[in-house]
Amino acid sequence: MDRCLGKLFAFLGKNALIFYAGIGMGIYRCAHEWPLWFNATVTQVGVSPLFVGDFFFMLVDIGKAVGLAVYLVLCYRFDMHRSSGALLVLPSVLIAAGCLVPLSVVLGFAPGDGVVLGSLVLIGAGAGMLFGQWIEFCGYLPPVKVIQVFAVSFVVRFALLPVITGVDELLSTLVIICLAGLSFVQVSFCFSKIAVAEDRPREGLGAKGLSGYGMLFLFVCVFAFAYGVGGSATQLSHSTHETGLGNLLPSLVILILAFKMGDRFDRTILYAIALPLMTVGLIGVEFLGVSLSLSQVMVSAAYSAFDLLVYTMVCSNAYRSRTSAMLPGSCIRILALVAADLAIVLMRLNASWNRGILVTATILATLAVGIAVFAPLLGSQREFSRFLSEGESSERERLGGIAEAAGLSARETTVFRLLVMGKSATEISEELFISNGAVRAHSSRIYDKFGVHSRKDFDALFSER
């Protein structure tokens, strides 16, 4: 027993930052879903809902999109070093301020409609900004750790949201104000634990850099639209239980695999999970008569796997190219919100549409775009070269010429470049999703081709070039 506890504590200590960041992102997920639960449940205690209408959820989503856009401008214009205390606490302040209106409703006050609408947008804006902070943090992590953080966040959301929503409305409101209001402490702590090696701040990619994400953006729009179609069909997309369970299942599987496999975990696993789940969920609800609850679980499971897939790609690109992950990550978040909400609106406004045809077209489009986007990327590192600056690109070409002259294979060339950059075997394995043993094998062959016998000799050789 003592031995097992010792292993458990050692494991938690080794991965403390992963779990802490995952808890912080899980609180973000609770914060942006909480108003939807609050609006649906206050009527049970004789309190009028904050907002009556079919598109209540869009108020919070509009806030998220606006908040992300504003936060991008503020950060890239005034805080390139991410050192502003005011911008650090801004998301937490907005969420806490927005929650004061629901609190006043519970206490028996009657704020005007404009105040209520403003509070919902404010909560969404704060949640959107908080997401921007966490996606920026994840851009400093190796790919497998990004997967772990996102997976932990879904597990935390599943465990925490029912607790928050399981108490009375007053206590629930106070808890969410405290948790969301103190999120900046978690963000600050996580950033303080990252060893940032760059002498200059990470820059945004700009419009030219974002063009490299074109096909990924297209996939996000199609997949999020498919999720909106599925959510509209089940009417359970904002359900605490079905959506939470759907998010939890693939997250647990992926989390276990990511920790168990470590640097051998590959994004092909994420892709293999996300696409079949979404397809099965849409087919089940529309053509097979599967229960709405089960269909929503499958659709939500697909979307959580999709989240893990696309944001891991964005953060991996930022990690490799030493650029900011906030801009492309925020663009993906905004596109996903717009596409999912558009699907829900279209399905509700056009009830006479042949849903079978729409679902079939959505499934085919999701499969086609997914294959077009990811088939060329699986197992390849070439796509990441487009995110390098001109100086880095020139150095890459120089090293490529040296590698070609030495007769290195494509994979050996990739490892060779990282060795020249001074990366350790562990860092290389994390970047390339390969095992430490594979790195050592590649390194040994590289040393042989350059006529050296150790890493020390290799470093000495290339310090002279």
**DSSP per-residue codes, 198-245:** -SSPPPP-HHHHHGGGHHHHHHHHHHHHHHHHHHHHHT-TT-HHHHHH
Residues 303, 29 contacting (CB under 8 angstroms): no
Contact 338, 65 (CB under 8 A): yes
Report how far apart, in Å, the C-alpha atoms of 283 and of each of 58, 123, 238, 243, 426 are: 26, 35, 20, 18, 43
Distance, in Å, from the CA atom of 245 to the CA atom of 295, rounded to the nearest integer, reads: 12
Q: Which residues have a Cβ under 8 Å from the Cβ of 95 and sit 6 or more positions away?
A: 31, 122, 123, 126, 127, 130, 176, 177, 180, 181, 183
Q: Please tell me the distance from the alpha carbon of residue 43 to that of residue 426, in angstroms, as a whole number.
A: 55
pLDDT at 208 over 90: no
Query: Rg of the chain's alpha carbons, rounded to an integer?
Result: 23
- The packing angle between helices 16-41 and 85-106, to 10°, is 30
Residue 68's pLDDT band (cuts 50, 70, 90): very high
Number of CB atoms found within 10 A of residue 394's CB: 11
Spatial neighbors of 46 by CB under 8 A, at least 6 apart, are none
- pLDDT mean over 206-225: 77
pLDDT digits 0-9 by tens, 378-414: 544 444 344 344 445 566 677 777 887 788 887 788 8
Q: pLDDT over 70 for what percent of the chain?
A: 73
Residue 313 main-chain phi, psi, to 5 deg: -65, -45
Tell me: pLDDT of 209 over 80.
no
Is residue 190 a contact partner of residue 27, using CB atoms and an 8 Å limit?
no
* DSSP H/E element including 384: none
C-alpha distances (whole Å) from 35 to each of 192, 238, 361 are 31, 11, 33
Q: Which of 13, 16, 22 is nearest to 255 (CA)?
A: 22
**pLDDT for 70 beyond 90:** yes
pTM value?
Answer: 0.76
Determine the Cα–Cα distance for residues 453 and 69; give it in Å rounded to an integer: 52
Residue among 137, 130, 135 nearest 88 (CA): 130
Residue of 194 and 331 predicted with greater confidence: 331
Helix residue ranges per DSSP H, 235-354: 240-261, 267-287, 292-321, 326-349
106-116: per-residue pLDDT in tens?
A: 787 877 777 87
Residue 108 DSSP symbol: T
How far apart are alpha carbons 314 and 209 in whole angstroms?
A: 12
Q: Mean pLDDT across the stretch 37-45?
A: 52
Q: What is the pLDDT of residues 118-164, one digit of tens each?
A: 888 888 899 999 999 999 998 888 877 888 888 888 888 888 877 77
* First-last CA distance in the chain: 55
The upper half-sphere exposure of residue 80, i.e. CA atoms within 13 Å in the direction of its Cβ, equals 10
pLDDT digits (tens, 9 = 90+) for 233-287: 666 555 667 677 777 777 787 777 766 765 556 666 777 776 777 677 667 666 6
Q: CA geometry: angle at 32 spanning 358 and 126, to 5°?
A: 120
